[in-house]
Amino acid sequence: MKIQRRTRMACCWMVMVVLFFPNQDLDRDASARARGEGRGSRQGRCLAAAACACGEETARGEEGGSRRGIGFAESSSSRMLAARKVRWLAARKVAGREEELARGEGGGSRRGRWLGLAERSSLAGALGMAVKLLLIALLALASCSAILASDPSPLQDFCVADLQSKVFVNGFPCKNADDVRAEDFFRSGLDRPGDTNNYLRSNVTPVNVNQIPGLNTLGISLVRIDYAPNGLNPPHTHPRATEILAVLEGELYVGFVTSNLNGGGNRLFTKNLRKGDVFVFPEGLIHFQFNTGKTNAIAFAGLSSQNPGVITIANAVFGSQPPISDDVLAKAFQVDKNLVDWLQAQFWTDNNY
């Protein structure tokens, strides 16, 4: 009796395994179940055969109850046969499912394709956004480099300018380090006033890379400016440097003009300076200094370039060689051409020595 109960329980478990577990994936898709009806009927016939086998086994177990050894052997053989049938049915169902997925049939397959396309589309969108962000970052970096760049930064302790070199580069080539001397970093004479005996009654003494070769690549220079009474350092610009000016003696009226404003026009900033006062002129803007006192004035100014350059406005406009067309200047300044011709005939003093 124990053997018969075990046999019936084994058959019931095999039926449950075939009916429930292999069908879990297929139950998720109604269309797949519809196509699986044929296979389901075949599985039913197989299950019926398995049940018959189990019934025959039970009958044989009852008839041969007295012969336990023979019944037990037959029961074991039947269980093995039923187990093989269960494995065969499960393998058939798995193979059918794999074939269905390979052909792309069923709602599950369609959902898989849709999800795959969605994933690929999402990945492509993410890659596109990453490329855009990279381009924006590169443009921002290039813009920042362009804004921050002035003089080339040193890549060594110093690069003393070789002023006699025939090589033309942005700045000056470096002298051989073995030929560098302390004099390449030295300049004297700033204790002596400059000659103000000129039309402007002012004098600018520069100390840049042309006077101290050791300033090459260091991005700094200075000037001494002397003003006689009513002396003027006329409107000019430094295209490559910001200037910070400190008054050592006397009084100065200083100012600068902004670039063109969005609403039109330009704004003027001015200040009266005395001994010990400091004023800043932003890079590239037109600025000036005028001695309003009755005594000589002295100022020192630092500039943020080894070679700041200077453009004196009146000299550049009316004293250039060859001269700018008087038609152009007459229309630009809204004056008669005769006045332009007279201005161009004047001697334009350069107070930078």
Q: Is the pLDDT of residue 15 over 70?
A: no
Structural domain contains residue 314: no
The answer to whether residues 183 and 281 belong to one domain is yes
Q: Is 233 part of any known ligand binding site? A: yes
The 10s digit of each residue's pLDDT in 189-219 is 999 999 999 999 999 999 999 999 999 999 9
User: Do 89 and 192 belong together in one domain?
Assistant: no
Non-local CB neighbours of 228 within 8 Å, separated by 6+ positions: 196, 201, 202, 291, 296
- The verdict on whether residue 210 carries a ligand-binding annotation is no
- pLDDT tens digit string along 101-130? 556 555 555 555 655 666 666 666 666 776
Confidence of residue 79 (pLDDT cuts 50, 70, 90): low
Looking at the domain assignment, is residue 275 inside a domain? yes
**pLDDT attached to residue 170:** 85
In a domain, residue 32? The reply is yes
**Same-domain pairing of 303 and 182:** yes
192 and 276 in a single domain? The answer is yes
Q: What is the DSSP string of 262-294?
A: TTSS--EEEEEE-TT-EEEE-TT-EEEEEE-SS
Closest by alpha carbon to 289, among 223, 219, 218? 223
Question: Are 185 and 69 part of one and the same domain?
Answer: no
Does residue 276 form part of some domain? yes
Answer yes or no: is 338 a known binding residue: no
Q: Do 99 and 215 fall into the same domain?
A: no
Task: Please report the pLDDT score of residue 109 as a whole number.
Answer: 52
Q: Tell me if 238 is assigned to a ligand binding site.
A: yes
Question: Are residues 99 and 182 located together in one domain of the fold?
Answer: no
Which of 273, 289, 309 delimits the end of a domain? 309
Give CA–CA dist 88/18, Å, rounded.
10
My answer on whether 295 and 197 are in the same domain is: yes
Does a structural domain hold residue 29?
yes
Residues spanned by the domain of 45: 2-103
Residues 300, 212 share a domain: yes
Domain of 269, CATH number, reads: 2.60.120.10
Q: Based on the fold, state whether residues 78 and 195 are members of the same structural domain.
A: no
Q: Is 307 marked within a binding site?
A: no
Total number of domains in the chain? 2
Query: Same domain for 67 and 184?
Result: no
Is pTM, for the whole model, over 0.75?
Answer: no
Asked if residue 114 belongs to a domain, the reply is: no
Tens digits of per-residue pLDDT, 247-296?
Answer: 999 999 999 999 999 988 999 999 999 999 999 999 999 999 999 999 99
Q: Do the domain assignments include residue 7?
A: yes
User: Does residue 332 form part of some domain?
Assistant: no
